[in-house]
A = this chain, B = another copy of it.
Amino acid sequence: MHLRLIWPGKTQNAYLLEVQSQYLKKINSMQKCEIIETQVAKGLSEKHSEKIMEIEAAGLEKYLKDDYIICLFDKGKEMNSVQFAQLLERTTLDYPYPITFIVGGFLGLADRILKRANLMMSLSRLTFSHELTRVVLLEQIYRALTITKGRRYAK
Q: How many copies does the complex hold?
A: 2
The proximity string for A residues 15-57 relative to B, scoring 1 for CB distances below 8 Å and 0 otherwise, is 1101100100000000000000000000000000000000000
Interface centre among A13, A81, A140, A155 (most CB of B within 10 A): A155
Q: Size of chain A's interface in residues, with CB distance under 8 A?
A: 29
Partner of A140, one of B13, B18, B78, B126: B126
Task: Give the segment of A65-73, A92-100, A129-137 that binds chain B.
Answer: A129-137
Closest to A153 in B: B129
Contact B19 A107 (CB under 8 A): no
Which of chain A's residues 58-91 have a Cβ closer than 8 Å to chain B?
Answer: 78-81, 84
